Structure 1
Amino acid sequence: MYKVSYVILGLVLCLAFTNDVLGKRHGQAIKKYGGKIVGGYDTTIQDIPYQVYLLLLIGTDYYQCGGSIISSRVVLTAAHCLRGVSRVYVRAGSTEADNGGRMYSTSLYTIHPQYNPTTSDYDVAIVRLLRPMTLDGTSTKTISLPNEGTSVPAGTEILVSGWGDTSENGQTSTDLMAVRIPTVSTEDCRRTYGQNAITERMICAGVPEGGKDSCQGDSGGPAVNTATGLQVGVVSFGQGCARPGIPGVYTNVSSVRAWIKRNAGV
């Protein structure tokens, strides 16, 4: 996971709810946590109403991640997105990263206590909102999670979405994008990343020829089983983006389901 540095200009935090703090027209640029959709397609928030855009304040810099709505007050995302964060801005209900929908602001979040930033194990976190999101069932809607211990067999088609880069070291997208990719076995994934690098808290997905993947700026976003409609993964890390023979790695939601239940109540 790596990030691309930019300069933040002209962001007025006290106007977060009256002005569009994510709007690129205000002159700021966003640093990106690793993992945009590569090889995907344009979509709309009505097709993926559980997706949210996260703008994260760390020091004086801003970073971009994704997340998913699991209750009116809770967003599920990746732990690595929230390390050192002092303020989280959540945009819900918009196809555009920098316009539309509704904005929410909070400083309340919880990172999994066993999260390891070196190995990316237990890469999961929740964001708590101070006021509930308006869930209209059309552009804002909760996503359901699998039961603890639910397996994700190799070949399961997942839908991954976000506003990240459309190519490795490329540019982020202002509009929501998605890609459908199959999961790969843990054994195959370990052959790529190393025997000890892929734990039970991870699942992998990609196509052998490459060209389809999540990428920088998609981190923390949802990976949803297209057959069941359940969110089985959280975008975590990868080597580059959409490289042949190198799948992306996602936090296995079912393996951390009990922790989510305890801390989010869902």
Structure 2
Amino acid sequence: MLLKSGLFLFLLTVLQVSARYKSVEPILIENEMNPDPAAISSSSSRIVSGWEAQPGQFPYHAALRMINSTGGLRQSGGSIVSKEWVITTSHCTINRILAIVRAGVVSLTNPEYIFETSEWYTHPQYNQSASLQPFDIALIKLQRPLVYTRLVKPIRIQSRADAFRDYDGQQVIVSGHGRTDTFGPYSDVLRWVYLRAISDEACQRTYAMVRIANTVCARFYNVTSQNACFGDDGGPLVHVDSDGIPTLIGVSYFFPGTANGCGSGLPTGYIRPGIFLPWFEEVTGIDFENLQEGDNDTIVDNTTTSTNPTSDNPSSTTPTLTTTSPSTPTPTVTEDFPPKETTTAQPEDSEEKEEEDSDSSESNEDDDIAQLLKRLQVDVKVKVKLDKFNITKVVGNDVNVWKP
């Protein structure tokens, strides 16, 4: 009887959400306006109604800090897919000149690795002027190879055979740093939550203008407010396949927007990485479907972090069925995380304009960024294969700014 009652409540919640929102215009996470700058001091975000990750629980998760030519910052997520490569979205890298990559990260103040790099590749069909991007995917090249530990490991990319797989009803996992809800606080601690994938048809009914063939949509698992939110873009959507191996099946790139809210129960969109395996191989020279690295001989122990980290997979315990958001303690804001640029509600508004409005406060409040700005007064040596990948390097006054 309790099981039947629980199923009834869950179905009732789904039907109520579906009835309330018949067709919604999705919004790129970085294009959504901040209506209350005093309440939201950055463009970063975190998982809504989720839980704090444990060291080693998500060893593939990368935290990205992208910097433009004037010092403007954007935080995004990424996925480690080999010792030298991280997958994220193109809109996280566009118009940026430097990336700070943290790996083996739970707290942003204490990562296993922290790298700077100025080499990345946006997909050649990415169209910056479009509000939604069916080719919104990018590769970041690390300047030196990672050494895998219990806290740092790659994730398997969705295969070509599963590139268009229907994950309807499957439990998936999303992880990220930042806001607890649309206008909530942010944290330096990695958080995660279960979501439930929905069918292409259900996603298309909600977002009529989305190119569904390139997209996996997912929404709350059993609490309506569960979702990704601001700044989680570029981060991983993971499904544990039948062989028990976590697999990257999506890269976060759009959400419902502040008109409805991250916790509205509406789905979030994720780019399918399996579609882009040929391009990944062209750029990196790696056959990711047959990648053989990170065997037991190359995994080294880590003695600088807490002992007994959790396994790679999140807890298999299914959250209790409820329709109310669980309480989440407000984390402490650390000095390592300076305010970022505010965002705009109009997709056509330029990123550079919004960053100029906020750069002065950012550079004054963060000594690390001030040092980076001094270093960026000389040409950044961006090692890109310009002709092969249709990328144009535009040289500014003192630094190299590059666009697809």
TM-score calculated relative to the size of structure 2? 0.56
Q: What amino acid does structure 2 have at the position aligned with 1:141?
A: K
Q: Which residue of 2 aligns with 1:177?
A: 191
In structure 2, what is the Cα distance between the partners aligned to 1:111 and 1:190? 26
Tell me, yes or no, if the aligned pair for 1:30 and 1:64 is still in contact at 8 Å.
Answer: no
Deviation of 1:94 (Å): 2.2
Distance 1:82 1:115, change over 3 A: same
Q: Which residue of 1 aligns with 2:159?
A: 147
Distance 1:203 1:43, change over 3 A: same
Task: Choose from 250, 256, 278 the match for 1:233.
Answer: 250
Q: Which residue of 1 aligns with 2:137?
A: 124
In structure 2, what is the Cα distance between the partners aligned to 1:197 and 1:144? 26
Distance 1:109 1:30, change over 3 A: farther
Tell me, yes or no, if the aligned pair for 2:204 and 2:212 is still in contact at 8 Å.
Answer: no
Q: Which residue of 1 aligns with 2:338?
A: none
From the two aligned structures, give the one with the greater helix fraction.
2
In structure 2, what is the Cα distance between the partners aligned to 1:106 and 1:4? 29
Q: Which residue of 2 aligns with 1:98?
A: 109
Deviation of 1:98 (Å): 2.9
Task: Choose from 10, 16, 41 the match for 2:51.
Answer: 41
Task: Choose from 215, 224, 227 the match for 2:238.
Answer: 224
Deviation of 1:263 (Å): 1.8
Tell me, yes or no, if the aligned pair for 2:226 and 2:265 is still in contact at 8 Å.
Answer: no
Distance 1:232 1:252, change over 3 A: same
In structure 2, what is the Cα distance between the partners aligned to 1:84 and 1:252? 23
The 3-state SS of whatever aligns with 1:223 is strand
Task: Choose from 160, 181, 194 the match for 2:174.
Answer: 160
Q: Which residue of 2 aligns with 1:20?
A: none
1:113 aligns with 2:124: yes
Q: Which residue of 2 aligns with 1:207?
A: 220
Deviation of 1:165 (Å): 1.1
Tell me, yes or no, if the aligned pair for 2:44 and 2:186 is still in contact at 8 Å.
Answer: no
In structure 1, what is the Cα distance between the partners aligned to 2:250 and 2:280? 13
Q: What amino acid does structure 1 have at the position aligned with 2:151?
A: S
Deviation of 1:47 (Å): 0.5
- Partner deviation per Cα, 1:76-120 (whole Å, 9 max, x = no partner): 111110010100010111211233322111100001111234222
In structure 2, what is the Cα distance between the partners aligned to 1:219 and 1:135? 25
Tell me, yes or no, if the aligned pair for 2:66 and 2:98 is still in contact at 8 Å.
Answer: yes
Q: What amino acid does structure 2 have at the position aligned with 1:239?
A: P
Tell me, yes or no, if the aligned pair for 1:207 and 1:244 is still in contact at 8 Å.
Answer: no
Distance 1:30 1:230, change over 3 A: farther
The 3-state SS of whatever aligns with 1:260 is helix
Q: Which residue of 2 aligns with 1:64?
A: 75
Q: Which residue of 2 aligns with 1:257?
A: 277
Which range is displaced more, 150-159 or 62-71? 150-159
Question: Sequence identity, in percent?
Answer: 28
- Partner deviation per Cα, 1:42-94 (whole Å, 9 max, x = no partner): 11240000001101101321110111111111011111100101000101112
Q: Which residue of 1 aligns with 2:314?
A: none
Task: Choose from 99, 116, 125 the match for 1:88.
Answer: 99
Gaps of 5+ in 1: 6-28
Q: Which residue of 2 aligns with 1:9?
A: none
Tell me, yes or no, if the aligned pair for 2:255 and 2:267 is still in contact at 8 Å.
Answer: yes
Gaps of 5+ in 2: 1-28, 35-39, 289-404
The 3-state SS of whatever aligns with 2:276 is helix
Deviation of 1:4 (Å): 7.0
The 3-state SS of whatever aligns with 2:91 is helix
- Cα RMSD for the two superposed structures: 2.1
From the two aligned structures, give the one with the greater strand fraction.
1
Q: What amino acid does structure 2 have at the position aligned with 1:188?
A: A
The 3-state SS of whatever aligns with 2:281 is helix
The 3-state SS of whatever aligns with 2:134 is coil
In structure 2, what is the Cα distance between the partners aligned to 1:153 and 1:41? 23
